[in-house]
Amino acid sequence: MTEIAEAAEAKRAERDRGFHYIGWTGGILPLTLKNALLNILTLAIYRFWAKTDVRRHLWRHTHFLGDPLEYTGIGKELFLGFLLVLFVVFVPLAIANELLLRYLGPFGATQILSIILVLFLIGVAQYRARRYRLSRTTWRGIRAAQTGEAWLYGLKRLGFWILLVPTLGWSYPWQRVHLTQYEMNNTVFGDRKFSFDGSPRPLYKPFAIAWVISFLIVAVVYLMIIPDFKADLAQDVVTLEDTGGLSVGIFRALTIGTTTLLLFLLAAPFIVIWYRVREFAYLISCAEYEGIKFNFDVGYWHLFRLAVGNYLITFFTLGFGLPIVQTRKFQFFCTHIKVHGSADFDAIHQSTEDRDKLGEGLADAFDIGDF
């Protein structure tokens, strides 16, 4: 009995040294049902208050060093932020886009500029949403914050996405490390900043493996489709009864191509998750706060089961099960993110950073972000 008690005490002590989610997945089900009903009755207007309720539930069930987090945001802030972005940003942009299309026509330059603007705004939205969530997160009465400029982050992100095209994706590890470094070096808890010391070099080996496998799959798809199309164009053999007007070669090529493409789409999540496990583990190991370091001790199949389960929940609940998905994520990362070292939290004072008075309107308009 003593050994059991000692083991339980050791487990509790290990838990209290890091993150711990004290709830269970089904605990959020009543809140999920309430939010789903109110969203239906209000034609989704209630989603801002629903999101706030979910965040409060998740935050207070997440403990760090034995004490819970607290979320202090309110639904009204999210709602007003959305209205501001809708009428100040999106309505003028929609009018300008309509005028350009009417007087200049739908030529390539207009479309390219629209895509560039959207990519820039998505980056700005992600940064502002992160800043808002951090500014509404407290622990032991101390508030988190985020400094830095959202427009600069948006430009950085836009530049990296453009760079993906000429580099055939090989700039992606550099992109992830650079953007994460900007985020973490501007992340504040109290009056102290986090730091990030990383290089893209360790990510290039797993990225190269994932890239080569993806390239080979795409090459196989290409080689299986193109010869059939060329052969059909040369011979022009048509069987109307069997193919409904399609030539035999094209019909066969479409069948093979569709099957191969489906196989690629089935294989892609395996490849992406394999790489993302290694990427996240490395990025989190590069972050530090006042002597505290982190590591991610999860295997491939753990993350794969989480991703597949979350997809199925979202699909079969038509999106209403998103709070359950979010709870599963909180539980998963609290379990697998390990904390090493210690900090003198008594010496940390309240953050003096200004807080946004409005919520994540831009992010909500683009429907990005989980929480």
What domain count does the chain have? 1
Pick 267 or 231 by higher pLDDT.
267
Q: What is the pLDDT of residue 299?
A: 85
Q: Please say if the pLDDT value at position 112 is more than 70.
A: yes
Query: Is 194 among the domain residues?
Result: yes
Average pLDDT over residues 84-102: 79
User: 142-146 and 137-139: which strand pairing?
Assistant: antiparallel
Query: Is 330 among the domain residues?
Result: yes
Query: Is 320 among the domain residues?
Result: yes
DSSP state string for 329-355: HHHHHHHHEEEES---GGGPPPP----
Query: Is 232 among the domain residues?
Result: no
**Is residue 100 very low, low, confident or very high in pLDDT (cuts 50, 70, 90)?**
confident
Summarize pLDDT for 342-360 with one digit per residue, the tens. 899 989 998 887 777 766 6
Q: What is the pLDDT of residue 242?
A: 47
Please tell me whether the overall predicted TM-score, pTM, comes out greater than 0.75 for this model. Answer: yes
Average pLDDT over residues 251-273: 73
Average pLDDT over residues 23-38: 92
Domain enclosing residue 290, as ranges: 2-209+265-344+351-366
Pick 357 or 63 by higher pLDDT.
63
Query: Is 43 among the domain residues?
Result: yes
Average pLDDT over residues 217-224: 73
Q: Would you tell me how many other CB atoms lie within 10 Å of the CB of residue 360?
A: 28
Query: Is 248 among the domain residues?
Result: no
Query: Is 153 among the domain residues?
Result: yes
CA distances from 260 to 196, 214, 233, 264 (A): 42, 13, 21, 6
Query: Is 193 among the domain residues?
Result: yes
